[in-house]
Amino acid sequence: MSDDTESKLDFIRQIVADDIAAGTHGGRVQTRFPPEPNGYLHIGHAKSICLNFGIAKEFGGKCNLRFDDTNPQKEDVEYVESIQEDIRWLGFDWDELHFASDYFPQLYEWACDLIRKGLAYVDSQTTEEIRAGRGTATVPGTESPYRSRTVEENLDLFARMKAGEFEDGAHVLRAKVDMASPHLIMRDPLLYRIRHAHHHRTGDDWCIYPMYDYAHGQSDSLEEITHSICTLEFETHRPLYDWFIEQLGIFKSRQYEFARLNLTHCLMSKRKLLELVNAGVVDGWDDPRMPTICGFRRRGYTASSIRSFCKEIGVTRFNGLTDMVVLENSLRHELNQTAERRMAVLNPLKVVLTNYPEGQSELLDAVNNPEDESKGTRQVPFGRELYIERDDFLEDAPKKFFRLAPGREVRLRWGYFIRCDEVIKDADGNITELHCSYDPETKGGHAPDGRKVKGTIHWVSAEHAINTTVRLYDYLLAVENPADIPEGDNWRDALNPESLVELQDCKLEPSLKDAVPGEAIQFERLGYFVVDSKASSPEQPVFNRTVTLKDSWTKKSSQ
Ligand code: ATP
Ligand code: MG
């Protein structure tokens, strides 16, 4: 085991360590990540990826990527490709790449074996009849009238199901287990259903498709997976997982369950996220508000911050709700160390320095990252006309307002002290610009006479500014706990109407024209931002706010 494994292991890593110590499977560790290619990966999948690939890495084992592609109607190659891209971006790579559909011939053979052993039969009841016959937790199920079909009849019908002789829903193949089992999953579960559907890999070769429970465990077994890790909902499926492996006498994979990730303000289901995409509520799967891996990437999240987050939340068997702030703080912590600082004015107010010579400009030294000296300095142009944030000026300022106000002095970041002498307004009384004077003696932010100012504000030279669009993102869901949203169409009511605010004509310091997507930048006092990979052009970078400098929701809700 490598050194970067925490000394206190989570319960799954403990099981793996114990198995290695006991020599189970000769000490071999083989995991897999088994997404269904029916959507893009979300942050919940990142937890599973970090766990499965992480265990393989830490214990000298292997991790496969297996597409659980048994549901042709919902699956697509677009998803197969995006899933691979996202896993790699997260910093992981698989040992073997598999598709459950590659196992269709073997799964079919095994189903015939089960029929021959009297352990599977073709049921010709309707879906509703089958459901009704299953019983409940307190009422045992009733046996299907087709349960006693002979082996020959079953083999014949199953072969004809495969050959395409029947319509969808005409027959299913069921395991013959126990209709009175206390485990509902064991009451003659379905193995195959008829679906005349085109599969993105097998084309029209098959018109019967295996159910998840039948395909999953057998795929694990074929790949000799030692630790098959899944989320807690599948705990009730485990008796069936073991039953198939036992009856078929094949490699004994074992299933272990952990609690899924639920995050505040996040929908965590591919199906629901697809609804948002299809309804046009968001700009695709990679909309920066989406909790998808590609959404987080476009938003400016780093792979390392997502991995740190997964490590921090740990792996348990208790279902809970993790605060989005934990993920945000993981990113803030990293970007504070790594992101270079720049100045940008999002809501500009013009300032004219009346005592600064017309036509003159100069370059001021600015530190790129006070947390990292090696990032050095850059030069920021300064001149007679500047922009400051509207918020940084108040005409009737209270005493404790330490920014700019009539007659008061403030420090310009990396620049001079300025004093507001005159407020210029239009005919409607709106403030259009400020006339200020600067003190040439205060270059670098200190007055030789020891005079102090309390506030420092950011600014951008009007002559040199990049004029562009900046998008401020907030949570897509106003509702804190997504589980509170009723099933159905009501998710629209739960959306945050202010999840995207687009600001035009923002003023950015000129060095930002070289920013590239994926490079996090702190706009001083405003937050971390990144160039949007889709909306930007080389002349006109559009910026996304990745995260604010501090958490504002916790403050809001505790007020
Ligand atoms: P969805 O409902 O979003 O489609 P899923 O569980 O059906 O989720 P799969 O593609 O089948 O998605 O999942 C691949 C793996 O990721 C599974 O092992 C699953 O348990 C795991 N996984 C999915 N969602 C989460 C989550 N929220 N937290 C942790 N693991 C998850
Ligand atoms: Mg699924």
Burial status of residue 43 (CB atoms within 10 A of its CB: 0-12, 13-18, 19 or more): buried
* Residue 240 in tokens: 């069936």
pLDDT at 490: 72
In the predicted model, residues of the chain with pLDDT beneath 70 are: 1-7, 489, 552-559
pLDDT at 489: 63
Query: For residues 335 and 521, is the Cβ–Cβ distance under 8 A?
Result: no
Tell me if 270-340+468-558 shares its fold with 344-458.
yes
Q: Whose CA is nearest to atom 15 of ligand 1?
A: 35
**Edge-to-edge strands of the sheet including 208-210?**
120-123, 172-175, 190-194, 208-210
d(CA 385, CA 430) in angstroms, rounded, equals 19
Q: Does domain 270-340+468-558 have CATH number 2.40.240.10?
A: yes
Q: Whose CA is nearest to atom 16 of ligand 1?
A: 45
Query: For residues 405 and 395, is the Cβ–Cβ distance under 8 A?
Result: yes
pLDDT at 486: 79
pLDDT at 485: 83
Q: Ligand 1 atom closest to Cα of 47?
A: 29
Residue 322 CB less than 6 A away from ligand 1: no
pLDDT at 559: 38
Q: Which of helix, strand or coil describes residue 267?
A: coil
d(CA 274, CA 283) in angstroms, rounded, equals 12
Cα 34 to ligand 1 centre (Å): 8
Q: Whose CA is nearest to atom 25 of ligand 1?
A: 44
Q: Which of helix, strand or coil describes residue 43?
A: helix
Cα 522 to ligand 1 centre (Å): 33
For domain 344-458, the CATH class is mainly beta
Residue 47 CB less than 6 A away from ligand 1: yes
Domain ranges of the chain: 11-258, 270-340+468-558, 344-458
* Residue 453 in tokens: 């100012």
CATH tag for 11-258 (out of 3.30.750.210, 3.40.50.300, 3.40.50.620, 3.40.190.10): 3.40.50.620
Query: For residues 98 and 69, is the Cβ–Cβ distance under 8 A?
Result: no
Q: Of the candidates 63, 47, 70, 59, which has an alpha carbon nearest to the alpha carbon of residue 13?
A: 59
Q: Whose CA is nearest to atom 8 of ligand 1?
A: 269
pLDDT at 556: 52
| CB neighbourhood size of 136 (10 A) | 8
Cα 165 to ligand 2 centre (Å): 29
Residue 231 CB less than 6 A away from ligand 1: yes
d(CA 326, CA 313) in angstroms, rounded, equals 8
pLDDT tens string 105-117: 999 999 999 999 9
Largest Cα–Cα separation, the chain: 103
Residue 230 CB less than 6 A away from ligand 1: yes
Catalytic residue set = 36, 260, 270
Residue 269 CB less than 6 A away from ligand 1: yes
Cα 322 to ligand 2 centre (Å): 21
